[in-house]
Amino acid sequence: MSQFEPKIVAFFCNWCTYGAADLAGVSRLDYPPNFRVVRLPCTGRLNPKYILEAFKLGADGVWVSGCHPGDCHYISGNYYARRKFVLLHHMLEAIGLEPGRLNFSWISSAEATKFQEVAKDVVEKVRACGPNINFRKAELELGLSEVA
Amino acid sequence: MMSLEEISQKIQASAKRLLAEGRAEVVIGYRRGTTPLTVAPHFARTAEDCDQLVWSSFAKINLATYLPKYPGKVALVAKGCDARSAVGQVVENQVLRENLYIIGVACNGMVDVERILAGEPRPAFEATEDQATIKLSGEGWITSLAREEVLRRNCRVCVSRTPSATADEVIGDQTEPLSADDFADLKELAGRSPADKLAYFKGLVKECLRCYACRNACPLCYCPVCFVDETRPQWLGKSQDEMDTFTFHVLRAFHCAGRCTSCGACETACPMDIKLREFNRVLESEVQKDWQYTPGLTWDQKPPLTTYRPDDEAEFIK
Ligand code: SF4
Ligand code: SF4
Protein backbone atom coordinates (compact mmCIF):
# COMPACT_ATOMS: atom_id res chain seq x y z
CA MET A 1 0.00 0.00 0.00
CA SER A 2 1.36 3.38 -0.87
CA GLN A 3 2.03 5.76 1.95
CA PHE A 4 -0.59 8.41 2.76
CA GLU A 5 0.63 11.80 1.52
CA PRO A 6 -0.99 14.52 3.60
CA LYS A 7 -1.91 17.93 2.20
CA ILE A 8 -0.86 20.71 4.48
CA VAL A 9 -1.70 24.39 4.29
CA ALA A 10 1.20 26.46 5.57
CA PHE A 11 0.84 30.06 6.70
CA PHE A 12 4.27 31.73 6.65
CA CYS A 13 5.17 35.23 7.61
CA ASN A 14 6.79 37.14 4.80
CA TRP A 15 9.81 38.29 6.76
CA CYS A 16 11.02 35.14 8.47
CA THR A 17 9.73 31.69 7.66
CA TYR A 18 8.94 32.54 4.06
CA GLY A 19 12.52 33.74 3.74
CA ALA A 20 13.75 30.56 5.42
CA ALA A 21 11.83 28.44 2.91
CA ASP A 22 13.46 30.45 0.15
CA LEU A 23 16.89 30.00 1.63
CA ALA A 24 16.32 26.28 2.09
CA GLY A 25 15.47 26.09 -1.62
CA VAL A 26 18.45 28.16 -2.72
CA SER A 27 20.69 26.05 -0.47
CA ARG A 28 19.29 22.90 -2.11
CA LEU A 29 18.09 21.42 1.16
CA ASP A 30 15.60 18.63 0.58
CA TYR A 31 12.22 18.93 2.24
CA PRO A 32 8.91 17.20 1.62
CA PRO A 33 6.60 18.81 -0.95
CA ASN A 34 3.39 18.24 1.02
CA PHE A 35 2.53 21.81 1.82
CA ARG A 36 0.97 24.72 -0.04
CA VAL A 37 2.19 28.04 1.28
CA VAL A 38 0.04 31.07 2.01
CA ARG A 39 2.22 34.11 2.59
CA LEU A 40 1.15 36.53 5.31
CA PRO A 41 2.70 39.87 6.20
CA CYS A 42 2.91 38.70 9.82
CA THR A 43 1.60 35.85 11.95
CA GLY A 44 -0.42 38.57 13.67
CA ARG A 45 -2.44 38.71 10.47
CA LEU A 46 -3.57 35.14 10.86
CA ASN A 47 -7.25 35.02 11.58
CA PRO A 48 -8.36 31.77 13.21
CA LYS A 49 -11.01 31.42 10.55
CA TYR A 50 -8.29 30.79 7.94
CA ILE A 51 -7.22 27.70 9.84
CA LEU A 52 -10.73 26.36 10.17
CA GLU A 53 -11.37 27.16 6.52
CA ALA A 54 -8.32 25.16 5.49
CA PHE A 55 -9.54 22.15 7.46
CA LYS A 56 -13.06 22.61 6.14
CA LEU A 57 -11.79 22.53 2.57
CA GLY A 58 -10.03 19.27 3.25
CA ALA A 59 -6.49 20.10 4.37
CA ASP A 60 -5.05 17.27 6.45
CA GLY A 61 -2.89 19.63 8.43
CA VAL A 62 -2.05 23.26 9.03
CA TRP A 63 1.33 24.75 9.80
CA VAL A 64 1.76 28.31 11.01
CA SER A 65 5.22 29.80 11.21
CA GLY A 66 6.73 33.23 11.71
CA CYS A 67 9.52 35.25 13.26
CA HIS A 68 10.89 34.43 16.69
CA PRO A 69 9.25 36.44 19.49
CA GLY A 70 11.16 39.67 19.79
CA ASP A 71 12.16 39.67 16.11
CA CYS A 72 8.87 40.69 14.54
CA HIS A 73 9.22 43.00 11.56
CA TYR A 74 6.31 44.96 13.03
CA ILE A 75 7.83 44.92 16.54
CA SER A 76 5.03 43.12 18.40
CA GLY A 77 2.76 41.35 15.87
CA ASN A 78 3.86 37.88 16.86
CA TYR A 79 3.57 38.63 20.58
CA TYR A 80 -0.14 39.24 20.06
CA ALA A 81 -0.33 36.29 17.70
CA ARG A 82 1.22 34.02 20.30
CA ARG A 83 -1.62 34.67 22.75
CA LYS A 84 -4.18 33.92 20.05
CA PHE A 85 -2.35 30.71 19.16
CA VAL A 86 -2.28 29.60 22.78
CA LEU A 87 -6.06 29.85 22.97
CA LEU A 88 -6.77 28.47 19.51
CA HIS A 89 -4.44 25.52 19.89
CA HIS A 90 -5.90 24.71 23.29
CA MET A 91 -9.47 25.09 22.08
CA LEU A 92 -9.17 23.02 18.92
CA GLU A 93 -7.48 20.15 20.72
CA ALA A 94 -9.95 20.40 23.60
CA ILE A 95 -12.86 19.93 21.23
CA GLY A 96 -11.36 17.01 19.37
CA LEU A 97 -8.73 18.02 16.82
CA GLU A 98 -6.04 15.32 16.86
CA PRO A 99 -2.75 16.59 18.36
CA GLY A 100 -0.33 16.95 15.44
CA ARG A 101 -2.73 18.32 12.86
CA LEU A 102 -2.18 21.93 13.80
CA ASN A 103 1.47 22.97 14.10
CA PHE A 104 3.24 26.17 15.03
CA SER A 105 6.88 27.23 14.81
CA TRP A 106 9.16 30.24 14.91
CA ILE A 107 11.77 30.10 12.12
CA SER A 108 13.92 33.08 11.18
CA SER A 109 14.95 33.79 7.60
CA ALA A 110 18.48 32.55 8.36
CA GLU A 111 17.35 29.17 9.71
CA ALA A 112 17.12 27.10 6.55
CA THR A 113 18.15 23.93 8.37
CA LYS A 114 15.57 24.44 11.08
CA PHE A 115 13.04 24.97 8.30
CA GLN A 116 14.01 21.66 6.75
CA GLU A 117 13.79 19.82 10.08
CA VAL A 118 10.46 21.29 11.09
CA ALA A 119 8.99 20.70 7.61
CA LYS A 120 9.86 17.01 7.84
CA ASP A 121 8.55 16.79 11.37
CA VAL A 122 5.24 18.51 10.52
CA VAL A 123 4.64 16.22 7.56
CA GLU A 124 5.30 13.12 9.68
CA LYS A 125 3.03 14.34 12.45
CA VAL A 126 0.18 15.03 10.06
CA ARG A 127 0.79 11.75 8.27
CA ALA A 128 0.41 9.96 11.60
CA CYS A 129 -2.99 11.62 12.09
CA GLY A 130 -4.24 10.21 8.80
CA PRO A 131 -6.64 11.93 6.40
CA ASN A 132 -8.75 14.74 7.82
CA ILE A 133 -12.27 13.37 7.96
CA ASN A 134 -13.70 15.09 11.00
CA PHE A 135 -12.99 18.74 10.30
CA ARG A 136 -13.81 18.85 6.59
CA LYS A 137 -17.09 19.66 4.98
CA ALA A 138 -19.08 16.68 3.87
CA GLU A 139 -19.50 18.02 0.36
CA LEU A 140 -16.66 20.03 -1.01
CA GLU A 141 -17.54 22.39 -3.77
CA LEU A 142 -13.94 23.17 -4.64
CA GLY A 143 -11.61 21.26 -2.44
CA LEU A 144 -7.88 20.97 -2.29
CA SER A 145 -8.29 17.55 -3.89
CA GLU A 146 -8.59 19.30 -7.22
CA VAL A 147 -5.46 21.31 -6.72
CA ALA A 148 -3.27 18.40 -5.67
CA MET B 1 -34.83 41.24 52.81
CA MET B 2 -36.05 43.66 50.22
CA SER B 3 -39.05 42.33 48.30
CA LEU B 4 -39.28 42.34 44.52
CA GLU B 5 -41.90 45.10 44.73
CA GLU B 6 -39.58 47.26 46.79
CA ILE B 7 -36.73 46.67 44.33
CA SER B 8 -39.02 47.56 41.42
CA GLN B 9 -40.10 50.76 43.18
CA LYS B 10 -36.52 51.75 43.86
CA ILE B 11 -35.61 51.16 40.22
CA GLN B 12 -38.54 53.36 39.17
CA ALA B 13 -37.52 56.12 41.59
CA SER B 14 -33.90 56.07 40.41
CA ALA B 15 -34.98 56.08 36.79
CA LYS B 16 -37.23 59.09 37.34
CA ARG B 17 -34.49 60.93 39.19
CA LEU B 18 -31.90 60.26 36.47
CA LEU B 19 -34.23 61.40 33.70
CA ALA B 20 -35.23 64.54 35.64
CA GLU B 21 -31.60 65.42 36.39
CA GLY B 22 -30.66 64.93 32.74
CA ARG B 23 -28.17 62.25 33.77
CA ALA B 24 -29.82 59.93 31.23
CA GLU B 25 -31.98 60.35 28.16
CA VAL B 26 -33.25 56.82 28.39
CA VAL B 27 -33.33 54.20 31.10
CA ILE B 28 -33.07 50.67 29.80
CA GLY B 29 -34.76 48.19 32.10
CA TYR B 30 -37.46 45.54 32.20
CA ARG B 31 -41.23 45.60 32.08
CA ARG B 32 -43.76 42.81 32.43
CA GLY B 33 -43.84 40.51 29.44
CA THR B 34 -47.01 39.83 27.47
CA THR B 35 -47.01 36.22 28.65
CA PRO B 36 -46.31 34.79 32.09
CA LEU B 37 -42.71 33.82 32.91
CA THR B 38 -41.33 36.55 30.70
CA VAL B 39 -40.20 40.13 30.92
CA ALA B 40 -39.54 42.44 28.02
CA PRO B 41 -36.88 45.10 27.55
CA HIS B 42 -38.22 48.53 28.40
CA PHE B 43 -36.90 51.89 27.25
CA ALA B 44 -38.12 54.57 29.63
CA ARG B 45 -37.89 58.16 28.43
CA THR B 46 -40.60 59.81 30.56
CA ALA B 47 -41.71 59.58 34.18
CA GLU B 48 -44.80 57.61 33.12
CA ASP B 49 -42.63 55.12 31.24
CA CYS B 50 -40.67 54.63 34.44
CA ASP B 51 -43.76 53.35 36.28
CA GLN B 52 -43.62 50.21 34.15
CA LEU B 53 -40.12 49.21 35.23
CA VAL B 54 -40.07 45.93 37.16
CA TRP B 55 -37.65 43.44 38.62
CA SER B 56 -38.14 39.66 38.68
CA SER B 57 -36.41 36.31 38.39
CA PHE B 58 -37.29 36.25 34.72
CA ALA B 59 -35.20 39.33 33.92
CA LYS B 60 -32.56 37.22 32.24
CA ILE B 61 -32.10 39.23 29.05
CA ASN B 62 -28.77 41.05 29.12
CA LEU B 63 -29.70 44.66 28.42
CA ALA B 64 -26.10 45.74 27.95
CA THR B 65 -26.55 44.36 24.43
CA TYR B 66 -28.39 47.58 23.55
CA LEU B 67 -25.69 49.95 24.81
CA PRO B 68 -23.34 50.14 21.80
CA LYS B 69 -26.35 51.11 19.68
CA TYR B 70 -27.16 54.23 21.76
CA PRO B 71 -24.93 57.23 21.24
CA GLY B 72 -26.53 59.31 24.02
CA LYS B 73 -26.67 59.19 27.80
CA VAL B 74 -28.09 55.93 29.03
CA ALA B 75 -28.90 54.45 32.41
CA LEU B 76 -28.85 50.66 32.50
CA VAL B 77 -30.66 48.43 34.97
CA ALA B 78 -28.01 45.79 35.48
CA LYS B 79 -27.56 42.49 37.24
CA GLY B 80 -24.01 41.57 38.16
CA CYS B 81 -23.37 39.93 34.81
CA ASP B 82 -24.94 42.76 32.80
CA ALA B 83 -22.75 45.28 34.59
CA ARG B 84 -19.70 43.17 33.71
CA SER B 85 -20.73 43.23 30.05
CA ALA B 86 -21.18 47.00 30.17
CA VAL B 87 -17.76 47.41 31.78
CA GLY B 88 -16.31 45.28 28.99
CA GLN B 89 -17.92 47.50 26.38
CA VAL B 90 -16.41 50.59 28.02
CA VAL B 91 -13.01 48.91 28.23
CA GLU B 92 -13.30 48.04 24.53
CA ASN B 93 -14.23 51.65 23.65
CA GLN B 94 -17.71 50.78 22.44
CA VAL B 95 -19.48 52.82 25.10
CA LEU B 96 -18.36 56.06 26.75
CA ARG B 97 -18.09 55.79 30.50
CA GLU B 98 -19.43 59.33 30.97
CA ASN B 99 -22.55 58.44 28.98
CA LEU B 100 -23.31 55.40 31.08
CA TYR B 101 -24.98 55.17 34.47
CA ILE B 102 -25.30 51.71 35.94
CA ILE B 103 -28.27 51.05 38.22
CA GLY B 104 -26.94 47.86 39.76
CA VAL B 105 -29.39 45.39 41.23
CA ALA B 106 -28.32 42.76 43.73
CA CYS B 107 -29.18 39.52 41.96
CA ASN B 108 -30.21 36.18 43.37
CA GLY B 109 -29.88 34.39 40.09
CA MET B 110 -32.28 34.16 37.20
CA VAL B 111 -34.42 31.12 36.46
CA ASP B 112 -34.26 28.77 33.53
CA VAL B 113 -37.70 28.86 31.95
CA GLU B 114 -37.05 25.80 29.77
CA ARG B 115 -36.35 23.87 32.92
CA ILE B 116 -39.54 25.08 34.55
CA LEU B 117 -41.61 24.21 31.51
CA ALA B 118 -40.06 20.77 31.31
CA GLY B 119 -41.30 20.07 34.84
CA GLU B 120 -44.62 21.84 34.47
CA PRO B 121 -46.04 21.52 30.95
CA ARG B 122 -49.51 22.80 31.87
CA PRO B 123 -49.97 26.35 30.58
CA ALA B 124 -49.45 28.80 33.42
CA PHE B 125 -51.46 32.02 33.53
CA GLU B 126 -49.45 33.65 36.21
CA ALA B 127 -46.12 33.44 37.96
CA THR B 128 -45.45 35.08 41.29
CA GLU B 129 -42.43 34.72 43.49
CA ASP B 130 -40.76 35.45 46.78
CA GLN B 131 -37.15 34.95 47.82
CA ALA B 132 -37.21 31.18 47.81
CA THR B 133 -40.11 30.05 45.65
CA ILE B 134 -41.73 30.58 42.30
CA LYS B 135 -45.50 30.04 42.27
CA LEU B 136 -47.20 29.12 39.04
CA SER B 137 -50.91 29.02 38.56
CA GLY B 138 -53.10 27.92 35.70
CA GLU B 139 -56.64 26.81 35.14
CA GLY B 140 -57.64 25.21 38.42
CA TRP B 141 -54.11 24.47 39.59
CA ILE B 142 -51.33 26.09 41.52
CA THR B 143 -47.86 24.82 42.18
CA SER B 144 -44.67 26.12 43.67
CA LEU B 145 -41.07 25.46 42.79
CA ALA B 146 -37.91 26.05 44.78
CA ARG B 147 -36.03 28.90 43.11
CA GLU B 148 -32.71 27.20 43.77
CA GLU B 149 -33.78 24.17 41.78
CA VAL B 150 -34.58 26.06 38.61
CA LEU B 151 -31.71 28.55 38.46
CA ARG B 152 -29.91 28.95 35.15
CA ARG B 153 -26.68 26.98 34.96
CA ASN B 154 -24.48 30.06 34.65
CA CYS B 155 -26.14 31.59 37.72
CA ARG B 156 -24.96 28.67 39.84
CA VAL B 157 -21.33 29.66 39.37
CA CYS B 158 -21.70 33.44 39.33
CA VAL B 159 -18.84 35.40 40.86
CA SER B 160 -20.43 38.84 40.67
CA ARG B 161 -24.09 38.75 41.63
CA THR B 162 -23.98 42.28 43.02
CA PRO B 163 -22.04 44.75 40.86
CA SER B 164 -20.92 46.81 43.86
CA ALA B 165 -17.47 47.58 42.46
CA THR B 166 -18.65 49.07 39.19
CA ALA B 167 -22.29 50.19 39.50
CA ASP B 168 -23.09 53.84 40.15
CA GLU B 169 -25.68 52.75 42.68
CA VAL B 170 -26.83 49.40 43.97
CA ILE B 171 -30.41 48.46 44.78
CA GLY B 172 -31.37 45.53 47.00
CA ASP B 173 -29.55 43.58 49.70
CA GLN B 174 -26.02 42.68 48.74
CA THR B 175 -25.85 39.08 47.51
CA GLU B 176 -22.64 37.16 47.98
CA PRO B 177 -20.73 35.74 45.02
CA LEU B 178 -20.99 31.98 44.62
CA SER B 179 -18.05 29.67 44.16
CA ALA B 180 -16.59 29.98 40.68
CA ASP B 181 -16.89 27.37 37.96
CA ASP B 182 -14.31 24.64 38.67
CA PHE B 183 -14.47 23.26 35.11
CA ALA B 184 -14.43 19.73 36.56
CA ASP B 185 -16.33 18.31 33.58
CA LEU B 186 -13.89 19.87 31.12
CA LYS B 187 -10.93 18.51 33.04
CA GLU B 188 -12.45 15.07 32.89
CA LEU B 189 -13.09 15.44 29.17
CA ALA B 190 -9.50 16.57 28.57
CA GLY B 191 -8.32 13.08 29.49
CA ARG B 192 -10.45 11.39 26.85
CA SER B 193 -9.68 10.65 23.20
CA PRO B 194 -9.99 13.25 20.43
CA ALA B 195 -12.87 11.22 18.99
CA ASP B 196 -14.76 11.37 22.30
CA LYS B 197 -14.20 15.11 22.62
CA LEU B 198 -15.37 15.71 19.09
CA ALA B 199 -18.44 13.55 19.55
CA TYR B 200 -19.31 15.50 22.69
CA PHE B 201 -18.95 18.95 21.14
CA LYS B 202 -20.53 18.06 17.81
CA GLY B 203 -23.37 16.48 19.75
CA LEU B 204 -23.97 19.70 21.66
CA VAL B 205 -24.77 21.65 18.49
CA LYS B 206 -26.46 18.91 16.51
CA GLU B 207 -29.85 20.62 16.73
CA CYS B 208 -28.57 24.13 15.98
CA LEU B 209 -30.64 25.95 13.38
CA ARG B 210 -28.06 28.67 12.80
CA CYS B 211 -30.73 31.26 13.50
CA TYR B 212 -28.03 33.37 15.20
CA ALA B 213 -30.35 34.43 18.01
CA CYS B 214 -27.45 33.69 20.35
CA ARG B 215 -25.22 36.13 18.50
CA ASN B 216 -27.89 38.82 18.46
CA ALA B 217 -28.43 38.46 22.20
CA CYS B 218 -24.72 38.65 22.98
CA PRO B 219 -23.51 41.96 24.46
CA LEU B 220 -20.08 41.37 22.94
CA CYS B 221 -21.27 40.79 19.37
CA TYR B 222 -21.25 44.37 18.13
CA CYS B 223 -19.23 43.88 14.91
CA PRO B 224 -20.82 45.88 12.06
CA VAL B 225 -20.53 42.80 9.85
CA CYS B 226 -20.40 39.45 11.57
CA PHE B 227 -18.19 36.77 10.02
CA VAL B 228 -21.24 34.58 9.55
CA ASP B 229 -22.68 37.17 7.17
CA GLU B 230 -19.56 37.77 5.14
CA THR B 231 -19.96 36.61 1.56
CA ARG B 232 -16.67 37.40 -0.17
CA PRO B 233 -15.10 35.22 0.89
CA GLN B 234 -17.86 33.26 2.51
CA TRP B 235 -16.53 31.66 5.68
CA LEU B 236 -19.69 29.79 6.49
CA GLY B 237 -21.87 28.05 3.96
CA LYS B 238 -25.57 28.71 4.23
CA SER B 239 -26.51 25.06 4.36
CA GLN B 240 -26.96 22.92 7.45
CA ASP B 241 -23.60 21.25 6.86
CA GLU B 242 -22.36 19.94 10.18
CA MET B 243 -18.93 21.49 9.75
CA ASP B 244 -20.35 24.94 8.98
CA THR B 245 -22.39 24.82 12.16
CA PHE B 246 -19.43 23.55 14.14
CA THR B 247 -17.19 26.28 12.73
CA PHE B 248 -19.77 28.87 13.69
CA HIS B 249 -19.70 27.75 17.29
CA VAL B 250 -15.92 27.54 17.48
CA LEU B 251 -15.39 30.99 16.01
CA ARG B 252 -18.25 32.58 17.93
CA ALA B 253 -16.69 31.37 21.15
CA PHE B 254 -13.22 32.42 20.01
CA HIS B 255 -14.41 35.93 19.30
CA CYS B 256 -15.53 36.14 22.92
CA ALA B 257 -12.31 34.70 24.34
CA GLY B 258 -11.17 36.68 27.35
CA ARG B 259 -14.31 38.82 27.10
CA CYS B 260 -17.25 36.52 27.89
CA THR B 261 -18.77 37.16 31.29
CA SER B 262 -20.93 34.02 31.37
CA CYS B 263 -24.10 36.08 31.45
CA GLY B 264 -25.94 33.26 29.70
CA ALA B 265 -27.70 35.58 27.22
CA CYS B 266 -26.83 33.24 24.31
CA GLU B 267 -28.29 30.14 25.93
CA THR B 268 -31.31 32.05 27.14
CA ALA B 269 -32.01 33.27 23.60
CA CYS B 270 -31.55 29.88 21.95
CA PRO B 271 -34.82 28.33 20.77
CA MET B 272 -33.25 24.87 20.66
CA ASP B 273 -31.89 24.88 24.23
CA ILE B 274 -28.36 24.36 23.00
CA LYS B 275 -25.62 24.45 25.61
CA LEU B 276 -23.41 26.66 23.51
CA ARG B 277 -21.70 28.22 26.50
CA GLU B 278 -19.70 25.00 26.77
CA PHE B 279 -17.51 26.28 23.93
CA ASN B 280 -16.93 29.53 25.81
CA ARG B 281 -16.07 27.65 28.97
CA VAL B 282 -13.19 25.89 27.22
CA LEU B 283 -11.64 29.28 26.58
CA GLU B 284 -12.66 30.79 29.89
CA SER B 285 -10.76 28.10 31.79
CA GLU B 286 -7.67 28.64 29.64
CA VAL B 287 -7.77 32.43 30.01
CA GLN B 288 -7.98 32.07 33.78
CA LYS B 289 -5.17 29.54 33.88
CA ASP B 290 -2.75 31.41 31.62
CA TRP B 291 -3.43 35.04 32.47
CA GLN B 292 -5.49 34.95 35.70
CA TYR B 293 -8.05 37.14 34.01
CA THR B 294 -11.77 37.51 34.71
CA PRO B 295 -13.53 39.97 32.41
CA GLY B 296 -15.71 42.90 33.42
CA LEU B 297 -14.78 43.32 37.07
CA THR B 298 -12.87 46.62 36.93
CA TRP B 299 -12.70 49.65 34.67
CA ASP B 300 -8.97 49.57 34.12
CA GLN B 301 -8.35 45.96 33.12
CA LYS B 302 -6.89 45.13 29.71
CA PRO B 303 -8.43 42.18 27.88
CA PRO B 304 -5.77 39.47 27.51
CA LEU B 305 -5.80 39.38 23.71
CA THR B 306 -5.17 43.12 23.47
CA THR B 307 -1.89 42.88 25.32
CA TYR B 308 1.06 40.52 25.79
CA ARG B 309 4.06 39.75 27.92
CA PRO B 310 7.40 39.07 26.21
CA ASP B 311 7.70 35.94 28.32
CA ASP B 312 4.25 34.48 27.63
CA GLU B 313 4.54 30.73 27.57
CA ALA B 314 3.72 28.65 24.51
CA GLU B 315 5.72 25.45 24.75
CA PHE B 316 3.82 23.85 21.85
CA ILE B 317 5.40 26.29 19.37
CA LYS B 318 8.61 24.81 18.02
S1 SF4 C 1 -25.01 35.32 36.22
FE2 SF4 C 1 -24.96 36.23 38.29
S3 SF4 C 1 -25.62 38.34 38.09
FE4 SF4 C 1 -26.15 37.27 36.17
S5 SF4 C 1 -28.28 36.62 36.45
FE6 SF4 C 1 -27.00 34.93 37.15
S7 SF4 C 1 -26.64 35.22 39.38
FE8 SF4 C 1 -27.45 37.15 38.49
S1 SF4 D 1 -29.60 30.49 19.11
FE2 SF4 D 1 -29.35 28.26 19.27
S3 SF4 D 1 -30.17 27.42 17.33
FE4 SF4 D 1 -29.85 29.63 17.03
S5 SF4 D 1 -27.77 29.74 16.13
FE6 SF4 D 1 -27.53 30.01 18.36
S7 SF4 D 1 -27.14 27.93 19.15
FE8 SF4 D 1 -27.97 27.72 17.05
Q: What is the pLDDT of residues A53-77, one digit of tens each?
A: 999 999 999 999 999 998 899 999 9
Chain A CA closest to residue B243: A137
Residue A111 within any structural domain of the chain:
yes
Nearest CA among B235, B250, B62 for reference residue B163: B62
pLDDT the model gives residue A148: 45
Q: Is the CB of B109 under 6 A from ligand 1?
A: yes
Determine the distance from the C-alpha atom of residue B186 to the mean position of all C-alpha atoms in its chain, rounded to a whole number: 21
The CATH number of the domain holding residue A82 is: 3.40.50
Question: How many A from CA of A53 to the centre of ligand 1?
Answer: 36
CA angle A128, A131, A136 (to 5 degrees): 135
Query: A103: domain range?
Result: 8-145
* CA separation for the pair A16, B23 (Å, rounded): 54
Q: What is the predicted ipTM?
A: 0.90
* Residue A2 placed within a domain: no
Q: What is the pLDDT of residues B156-176, one digit of tens each?
A: 999 999 999 999 999 999 888
* A113 inside domain: yes
Annotated domain spans of chain B: 1-108+159-180, 183-318
- What pTM value is reported for the model? 0.92
Count Cα neighbours of B164 within 13 Å in the Cβ-side half-sphere. Answer: 10
Chain B residues interacting with chain A (CB cutoff of 8 angstroms): 186, 189-190, 194-202, 227, 233, 235, 237, 241-244, 247, 250-251, 253-254, 257-258, 279, 282-283, 286-287, 290, 304-305, 308, 310, 312-314, 316-318
Cβ pair A87:B243 closer than 8 A: no
Residue A12 lies in a domain: yes
Q: Is the pLDDT of residue A139 over 80?
A: no
Q: For residue range B196-255, what is the model confidence (pLDDT) as tens digits? A: 999 999 999 999 999 999 999 999 999 999 999 999 889 998 888 899 999 999 999 999
Partners of B292 on chain A (C-beta within 8 Å) are none
Confidence class for position B177, pLDDT limits 50, 70, 90: confident
Q: In chain B, which residue's Cα lies nearest the Cα of A84?
A: B305
Assigned domain for A3 exists: no
Angle between helices A77-94 and B242-255 (to 10 degrees): 130
Provide the number of structural domains found in chain A: 1
Answer yes or no: is A1 within a domain.
Answer: no
Give the pLDDT band (50/70/90) at residue A1. Answer: low
SS3 letters across chain A: CCCCCCCEEEEEECCCHHHHHHHHHHCCCCCCCCEEEEEECCHHHCCHHHHHHHHHCCCCEEEEEECCCCCECCECHHHHHHHHHHHHHHHHHHCCCCCCCEEEEECCCCCHHHHHHHHHHHHHHHHHHCCCCCCCCCCCCCCHHHCC
Contacts for B237-245: CB closer than 8 Å, 24+ residues apart = B237/A137, B240/B210, B241/A137, B241/A138, B241/A139, B242/A138, B242/B202, B243/A56, B243/A135, B243/A136, B243/A137, B243/A138, B244/A56, B244/A137, B244/B210, B245/B205, B245/B208, B245/B210
Mean pLDDT of A28-52: 95
Identify any residues that bridge with B174 across adjacent strands, giving them in sequence order: none
